[in-house]
Structure 1
Amino acid sequence: MVSSADSFRLSWLGWWRLVGQLRRRGRGIRESGAFLLGHRHSGPGVVTDFVFYDEIDPDALSRGHVHLSGQALGKVWDRCGVRGLEVLADVHTHPGSAGQSDSDRAYPMIAIKGHTALIIPAFARSATNLRGVGVYRHLGAGNWISLPSPKAGWRGITF
């Protein structure tokens, strides 16, 4: 079961910005992605910043699927340290559905037990289809669980 300490929220404006950037960066022909940064106090985390994969690794999207160099993650940790944030989740797009691929399961962006990964279908063509978004929690050792779809509320979207 997912506790409120494991969940996080993203404002509606933030969601629209995120999906728009993922769609633009993937150009409807390739996957794109980002790390969602924010903070946790008591209760759910709050996303306040994004780090797009192609910002930290210019070749991240050149293969048609997401691939980050090891050096790119160092840039994420540096940004978190400077701004006092943490990685709350990662997100990437898929051409079709939001199901995890074999490589998604085998090679998580953050291979830490409890990390959350989001997959937005159809190369992020729609910001309104929240039921289509895949939400997955890493259990360690290549194991994952699928979580419920994001929940829309007046303060934003809770994952």
Structure 2
Amino acid sequence: MRDLRKRGAGTRESGVFLLGPLDGPYPRITSYLCYDDVDPDAYQLGAIAFHASGCAALWKHCRERKVRLLIDVHTHPTRDVRQSHIDVRHPTLPVVGHTAMIVPNYANTPWWSLKAAGVYEYCGGFKWRTHSPLAPDRRVKLSLW
């Protein structure tokens, strides 16, 4: 959250890829990579515009470190974490089952709770399923280990 807040500077959206090992019994986030680390021009238009060169750098990073993309996260300027038309039509990873998360207020939100976040699962064909971050069977669980 701190890096998202810092990179957005309270004036623009920012994003991060949450990464985890290729193997293991369940997906677990072990590292992250901010959008502008792999695409320096991602924030130049005010809104996020992730370019092909950034995608190539992301996949290279994943290959070299033997990790995979688990969740992509981006910020919205207000408390509204519903997907915008742009979010719906431009999934970062257009693969069925991919998880996207939206955090409010340019990430000026507590890091210890996902209560304010929007959690979405890509179903293909620009269709998404919304998941409650508080449901017992939630898609994303926050833990300290």
Question: TM-score scaled by structure 2?
Answer: 0.88
Cα RMSD for the two superposed structures: 1.4
Q: In the alignment, which residue of structure 2 is the partner of 1:29?
A: 11
Query: Does the residue aligned with 1:77 lie in a helix, a strand or coil?
Result: helix
Q: In the alignment, which residue of structure 1 is the partner of 2:126?
A: 142
Q: Which has the higher strand share?
A: 1
Could you tell me which runs of 5 or more consecutive residues in structure 2 were left unpaired when the two chains were aligned.
Answer: 134-139
| Matched residue type, 1:20 | R
Higher mean displacement: 126-135 or 138-147 = 126-135
Q: Deviations over 1:81-120 (max 9, x none)?
A: 1111100010000001111000100000111111000000
Q: Percent identity, please.
A: 36
Q: In the alignment, which residue of structure 1 is the partner of 2:32?
A: 50
> Once the 2 structures are TM-superposed, how far is the Cα of residue 151 of structure 1 from its aligned partner?
4.2
- Greater RCO (Cα-Cα under 8 Å, separation 6 or more): 1
1:59 alignment partner, one of 27, 37, 41: 41
Please list, as runs of the form range in 1=range in 2, the aligned pairs for 1:7-156 lying within 5 A after superposition: 19-39=1-21, 40-43=23-26, 45-96=27-78, 97-127=80-110, 128-149=112-133, 150-153=140-143, 155=145
Count of residues in Structure 1 that have an aligned counterpart in Structure 2:
136
Could you tell me which runs of 5 or more consecutive residues in structure 1 were left unpaired when the two chains were aligned.
Answer: 1-18
Q: Which has the higher helix share?
A: 1
Cα 1:47–1:106 shift into 2, 3 Å: same
Higher mean displacement: 62-71 or 140-149 = 62-71
Question: TM-score scaled by structure 1?
Answer: 0.81
Cα 1:53–1:152 shift into 2, 3 Å: closer
